Amino acid sequence: MDIADPILVCRACASRSRPDVVRWRCECGGMFDLDPGSSALPTRRSSAPAVASMWRYADQLPFGPEHVWPGRLTMGEGGTPLIFGSPDDAGPMFKLEYVSTTGSFKDRGAVVVVAVAMELGATEVVADSSGNAGTAIAAYAARAGIRCSVFVPDGTSPKKLRQMRAHGAIVHEAGTREDAAAAAIDTVDRTGAFYASHVYSPFFFEGTKTFALEVIDELGRCPERFVLPVGNGTLVLGVARVLDALAASGRSDARPQLLLVQSSACAPIADAVRRGATTVAPVRNEGTIAEGIAIAAPARGDQLLEVIRRYDATVITVDDDAVATASQWLAVRGTYVEPTAAAPLAGLQAAVESGLVGSTESTVVPLSGSGSKAA
Ligand SMILES: [Zn+2]
C-alpha cells in the first residue's frame, strides 16, 4: 500500500485506519470519511497538471506527486467552463459540468476513486448507480485496465447502459436503486473486489470538491450562492469539504448561501429538514424525470443534514413540470442537459418566485449532466 497519507475515519466509532482494497466501511458498520488533514487547504494551485484538468489541484488531493495519476488515468475531467446564464452577463452563472469525459460531473469523483483502486492494486471494481456514476466508473476502470461491474436499477437510461457496456463493464440490472446497492455490496463482500462507490468511498468527494475549487479560483472568491442538486449528495459533500477547509483557514467568504434542490417525487432530505429531524427516513420514490437525484434512502443522509445545519442551507423541492420548464429554458439558450441537471435551475427559479432569493448575481449553478445521455 503506497498511497500518500490518507487516513480513513469512521463516522460511527471514530476509529482511524489506512485504506485497503476490501474495506469499504468500518468493522462496526460505520461509513468512512477522510481525515481533513489528508488533503491540504485550498490555497494554491499545484504545478502538476499534464493536461488542463482538475488535477491542477493535485496538491489538495490525497495523493503524493510520485503517484500514478494524472498521466495514466486522467482524461481531462474537470476544468469545466463557467458561463453566464445569458449573454448580457446578468443572473446566475452556470458551470458546464456536462463538458466532461463521460458527460457528467461524476468523472471528478470517479477518476479519484479509480486512481485509489489502482494504487491499492485492485484488479476488479464494483459500482452501483442510477446512471452517470456507473458510466464514469466504467470509463475510468477501462482506462485503468481494471475489470468493472456496475449494478443499476431497472429502467436506467438505455444510452447509459450502452455506454457502460461499451467501456467493457459487466452491467447487472437489479430491481430498485436500493436493490442495486445491496447487490453491489453483496458482490463486494463475496469477491473482495474494490467497492468504487460514489456514496461510501470518501475519495469520491475528494474529486467532487474540485468543482468548488475551480469556481473559487475563477471568481477569485467564493460566490454568494451555490445551487446544488441533492440525491446522494455527492456534489454537496464535496463542496462542503472545501467550505469547511476555507472556514478553518479563516477565510471570510467561507459561508455562501447553499440552496439545495430535490425532486418533490423523492425528497427524503427536504422531508427531514421540514420535520426538524436529525436523521433521514426513507421515502417512496414516486418517479421523476430527475432520475439522478431520486434517492429514496440516501446512505449519507444524516451527514447531509449536518451540512445543512452547519451552513444554514435551504432545501427546496421541484416537480417535473418545473424541471421540464427549466430544461427548456436552458436548451433555448444553447445548453442541452438531462432533466436531473435542470433541477437546480428549477429550484433557483422557484426560490426567486417565492422571494427566498432576491438577486441571482454571484450565484453558481452546476449543469451536471449532458442531455445527449438522457433516455
Ligand atoms: Zn467504526
Q: Is 355 left (phi over 0), alpha (psi -120 to 50) or beta?
A: left
Residue 38 pLDDT: 67
Please, which pLDDT band fits residue 372 given cuts at 50, 70 and 90?
Answer: confident
Residue 56 pLDDT: 84
Q: Could you tell me which of 267, 282, 281 has the C-alpha nearest to residue 347?
A: 267
pLDDT tens-place string over residues 265-293 = 999 999 999 999 999 999 999 999 999 99
Q: What is the CA(182)–ligand 1 centre distance, in A?
A: 20
Q: What is the CA(302)–ligand 1 centre distance, in A?
A: 16
Q: What is the CA(28)–ligand 1 centre distance, in A?
A: 4
Q: What percent of the chain has pLDDT over 70?
A: 92
Residue 12 pLDDT: 96
Q: What is the CA(8)–ligand 1 centre distance, in A?
A: 10
Q: What is the CA(113)–ligand 1 centre distance, in A?
A: 21
Backbone angles phi, psi at 217, to 5 degrees: -65, -45
Please, which pLDDT band fits residue 261 given cuts at 50, 70 and 90?
Answer: very high
Q: Which is more confidently placed, 69 or 352?
A: 352
Q: What is the CA(233)–ligand 1 centre distance, in A?
A: 21
Q: What is the CA(199)–ligand 1 centre distance, in A?
A: 17
Please, which pLDDT band fits residue 124 given cuts at 50, 70 and 90?
Answer: very high
pLDDT tens-place string over residues 150-200 = 999 998 889 999 999 999 999 999 998 889 999 999 999 999 999 999 999
The H or E element containing residue 141 is: helix 132-144
Residue 60 pLDDT: 84
Q: What is the CA(56)–ligand 1 centre distance, in A?
A: 33
Please, which pLDDT band fits residue 242 given cuts at 50, 70 and 90?
Answer: very high
Q: What is the CA(320)–ligand 1 centre distance, in A?
A: 39
Please, which pLDDT band fits residue 50 given cuts at 50, 70 and 90?
Answer: low
* 316 pLDDT above the threshold of 50: yes
Q: Which is more confidently placed, 55 or 323?
A: 323
DSSP 194-227: EE--TTT-HHHHHHHHHHHHHHHHHHSS--SEEE
Strand partners, 152: 173
Q: Could you tell me which of 95, 24, 81 has the C-alpha nearest to residue 52?
A: 81
Residue 67 pLDDT: 61
Q: What is the CA(260)–ligand 1 centre distance, in A?
A: 29
Q: Could you tell me which of 181, 212, 179, 214 has the C-alpha nearest to residue 195?
A: 181
Q: Which is more confidently placed, 54 or 273?
A: 273
Q: What is the CA(9)–ligand 1 centre distance, in A?
A: 8
Largest Cα–Cα separation, the chain: 56
Q: What is the CA(32)–ligand 1 centre distance, in A?
A: 8
Please, which pLDDT band fits residue 296 given cuts at 50, 70 and 90?
Answer: very high
Q: What is the CA(84)–ligand 1 centre distance, in A?
A: 44
Q: What is the CA(25)–ligand 1 centre distance, in A?
A: 8
pLDDT tens-place string over residues 191-221 = 999 999 999 999 999 999 999 999 999 999 9
pLDDT tens-place string over residues 83-103 = 988 777 678 999 999 999 999
Q: What is the CA(278)–ligand 1 centre distance, in A?
A: 20
DSSP 268-315: HHHHHHHHT-SSPPP------S-GGG--SS-TTHHHHHHHHHHTT-EE
Residue 46 pLDDT: 45
Q: What is the CA(16)–ligand 1 centre distance, in A?
A: 8
Residue 45 pLDDT: 44
Q: What is the CA(197)–ligand 1 centre distance, in A?
A: 18
Average pLDDT, the chain: 91
β-sheet with 363-366: strand ranges across = 82-84, 93-95, 363-366, 225-229, 257-263, 314-318
* 326 pLDDT above the threshold of 60: yes
As a whole number of angstroms, the distance between CA 241 and CA 36 comes to 8
Q: What is the CA(179)–ligand 1 centre distance, in A?
A: 24
* 3 pLDDT above the threshold of 60: no
Q: What is the CA(202)–ligand 1 centre distance, in A?
A: 14
Burial of 43 (C-beta count, 10 Å sphere; 0-12/13-18/19+): exposed
Work out whether the CA dihedral 103, 105, 108, 113 comes out positive or negative.
negative
As a whole number of angstroms, the distance between CA 211 and CA 237 comes to 11
Residue 61 pLDDT: 83
As a whole number of angstroms, the distance between CA 138 and CA 146 comes to 9
